[in-house]
Amino acid sequence: MSSGDLLSIHPTELKFPFELKKQSSCSLQLTNKTDQHIAFKVKTTNPKKYCVRPNTGVVLPGATCDVTVTMQAQKDAPPDLQCKDKFLLQSVAASDAVTVKDITPEMFNKEDGKVVEEFKLRVVYIPANPPSPVPEESEEGSSPRASLLDNGNPNASLSDAASRSSGEHKENPEELLRKEASKSQGGSSFMFVVLIGLLGILVGYFIKM
């Protein structure tokens, strides 16, 4: 809170949640510390960008006035969300009969014997959607095995891969020997039958002679 002889101002920074193409607002509370009527006026270095309601007013003795500052929707974000815009709040003691309609720019001219307080307020942009914290599972130290455990049996895919790869490699040597032996035995039996048939034909031929 910033405090002068006339008004207390809270907060001392205008903090806007920043999101592209969306308006955002923040509020100021002005508290009259005196037993007089205090007239105030709010100025900004970028009047087309902001709307201040009310931008002028009168705060009664001991009372508080709320001022709402609205930033228009922005098409571009400044680098690192750093904003150079500033606001100036001017306040001055006024007569008890003064009203908002009676406030003029000349009331805030600094003249001999007149106290005009001025407070500069800077603008701060706050990301509207801050990044969410990194889950513990994604932090360093986690391993691919942990993700396998989350999906069920960690050995299932490994065993399947092993069974498939084993079918693509050479067969057991004993099985190969058995197959070769059965092939050779089948060939010998076939030759034996052929020879027996030839012998029968020859024997029949000689008998006929």
Question: What radius of gyration, in Å, describes the C-alpha atoms of the chain?
Answer: 47
Residue 138 tokens read as 């994604």
Which sequence spans correspond to the domains of the chain?
Answer: 2-127, 174-204
Q: Answer for the pair 124, 13: CB distance below 8 angstroms, yes or no.
A: yes
pLDDT at 67: 98
pLDDT at 72 over 50: yes
* Extended beta strands in the chain, E state: 2-3, 7-10, 13-18, 24-32, 37-44, 50-53, 56-59, 64-71, 86-94, 116-127
pLDDT at 151: 52
- Residue 83 — pLDDT band, cuts 50, 70, 90? very high
* Model confidence pLDDT, tens digit, residues 156-184: 444 444 444 444 445 555 566 566 556 55
2-127 in CATH: which number? 2.60.40.10
* Model confidence pLDDT, tens digit, residues 10-21: 999 999 999 999
The percentage of the chain sitting over the pLDDT mark of 90, rounded to a whole number, equals 56
